[in-house]
């Protein structure tokens, strides 16, 4: 990718070339980014996005790396990452969280303040921005259940506040498009901290029993079809425990793939194809990916 720092005059932040992204993936796979972009403020992110749009430069957003499959060959693109944006501010019964805040730390902050509502999301290893982007959730609830607004940086260079009524989220998708989420505001309810802590504990115990939380994974690989569970379909099709190289369908939860060591993105894709084929043959249902797969289209994960 041909580019020049002079194009981004006024940008404040860090630009690093050739950064290995595998260490930023929860599955431990993927190649290098042409340039890793760490903007210092939302104005810097907006400036950078505007120049990318004007010059047709490709980019991706990388949060906690818990639901993104990065190609083995890497990406010839800018990759935005904002782990330093991790502030949480209380405003009455609302919490305003910067997009780089981890979801577990936000939930524990809410607990410490005696605010309930986010407990069912504990155990999802995402940053707030990524959780909003994919409307992360469980059968007990989703990110958008308590979301009241988001701030986003757009390709126009503008920064906008979007109210919940302006948004049209779907199952595991915010439908926000090519914007960088900078903050999210959640409306919660006052409650007893000990009761909140007890609910968090119960959810974590359930996750530990039912999911391979101690192994490298990207969480659920496939979306649940309406009225059914992808994990049940995968297991019933005989693919639980199936392997492609060092990527394996988890024995604990069949909708998780785990990396046994030195697995690759290519192996993930090949195993996904085999699982989809087996489920479709057995049940006539084509499972759709829940994870975002980089490389299909510029500037957008699919």
pLDDT one-digit tens code per residue, 83-110? 999 999 999 999 999 999 999 999 999 9
Please give the mean pLDDT across all residues of the chain.
95
Residue 298 banded pLDDT, cuts 50, 70, 90: very low
Q: Distance (Å, rounded) from C-alpha 258 to C-alpha 209? A: 16
Of all residues in the chain, the percent with pLDDT exceeding 70 is 98
SS3 of residue 163 by DSSP? strand
Check whether 55 has a pLDDT greater than 90. Answer: yes
pLDDT at 63 over 60: yes
Q: How confident is the model at residue 296 (pLDDT cuts 50, 70, 90)?
A: low
Per-residue pLDDT averaged across 223-248, rounded?
97
In the CATH hierarchy, which top-level class contains the domain 212-293? Answer: alpha beta
More confident: 26 or 302: 26
Same fold, 5-80 and 88-195: no
Read off the pLDDT band of 289 (50, 70, 90).
very high
pLDDT value at 73 more than 70: yes
pLDDT at position 295 is 80
List, in order, residues 6 or more apart from 98 with CB less than 8 Å away: 82, 85, 86, 87, 88, 128, 182, 183
| Predicted confidence (pLDDT) at residue 297 exceeds the cutoff of 80 | no
Residue 16 has pLDDT above 50, yes or no: yes
Answer yes or no: are the C-beta atoms of 109 and 117 closer than 8 Å: no
The arithmetic mean of pLDDT across residues 28-54, rounded, is: 97
Q: Between these two residues, 302 and 34, which has the higher pLDDT value?
A: 34
Output the CATH code of domain 88-195: 3.30.465.10
Q: Does domain 5-80 have CATH number 3.20.20.120?
A: no
Write phi, then psi, for 184 (nearest 5 degrees): -135, 140
166: left (phi over 0), alpha (psi -120 to 50) or beta: alpha
Task: Answer for the pair 238, 278: CB distance below 8 angstroms, yes or no.
Answer: yes
Q: Which residues pair with 222 in a beta bridge?
A: 289
Question: Would you list the domain boundaries of the chain?
Answer: 5-80, 88-195, 212-293
Q: Once rounded to an integer, what is the mean pLDDT over residues 171-199?
A: 95
- pLDDT at residue 36 above 50? yes
Q: Among residues of the chain, what percentage have pLDDT more than 90?
A: 93
Residue 139 has a pLDDT of 85
Confidence (pLDDT) at 301: 41
What is the average per-residue pLDDT within 277-292?
97
pLDDT for 138: 87
Q: How many CA atoms are closer than 13 Å to the CA of 280, on its beta-carbon side? A: 9
For the entire predicted model, the pTM comes to: 0.93
The position carrying tokens 């290519």 is: 266
Q: Kindly state the average pLDDT of the residues 122-138.
A: 93
């Amino acid at each position: 990718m041909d580019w020049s720092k002079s194009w981004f005059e006024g940008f404040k932040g860090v630009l690093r070339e050739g950064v290995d992204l595998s260490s930023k993936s929860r599955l431990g796979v993927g190649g290098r980014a042409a340039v890793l972009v760490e903007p210092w403020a939302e104005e810097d992110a907006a400036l950078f996005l505007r120049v990318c749009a004007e010059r047709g430069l490709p980019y991706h957003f990388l949060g906690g790396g818990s639901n993104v499959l990065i190609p083995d060959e890497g990406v010839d693109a800018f990759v935005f990452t904002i782990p330093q944006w991790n502030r949480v501010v209380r405003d009455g019964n609302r919490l305003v969280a910067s997009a780089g805040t981890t979801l577990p730390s936000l939930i524990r902050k809410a607990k410490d303040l005696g605010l309930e509502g986010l407990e069912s999301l504990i155990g999802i290893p995402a940053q707030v921005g990524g959780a909003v982007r994919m409307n992360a959730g469980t059968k007990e609830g989703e990110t958008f259940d308590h979301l009241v607004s988001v701030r986003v940086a757009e390709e126009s260079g503008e920064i906008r506040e979007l109210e919940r009524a302006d948004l049209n989220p779907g199952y595991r998708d915010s439908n926000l498009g090519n914007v960088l989420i900078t903050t999210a505001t959640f409306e919660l309810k006052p409650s007893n901290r000990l009761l909140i802590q007890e609910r968090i504990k119960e959810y974590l115990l359930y996750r530990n029993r039912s999911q391979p939380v101690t192994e490298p994974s990207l969480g659920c690989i496939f979306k649940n079809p309406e009225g059914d569970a992808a994990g049940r379909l995968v297991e019933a099709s005989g693919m639980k425990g199936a392997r492609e190289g060092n990527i394996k369908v988890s024995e604990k939860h069949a909708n998780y793939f785990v990396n046994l060591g030195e697995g690759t993105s290519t192996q993930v894709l090949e195993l996904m194809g085999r699982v989809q084929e087996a489920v479709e043959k057995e049940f006539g249902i084509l499972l759709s990916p829940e994870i975002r797969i980089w490389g299909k289209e510029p500037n957008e994960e699919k």
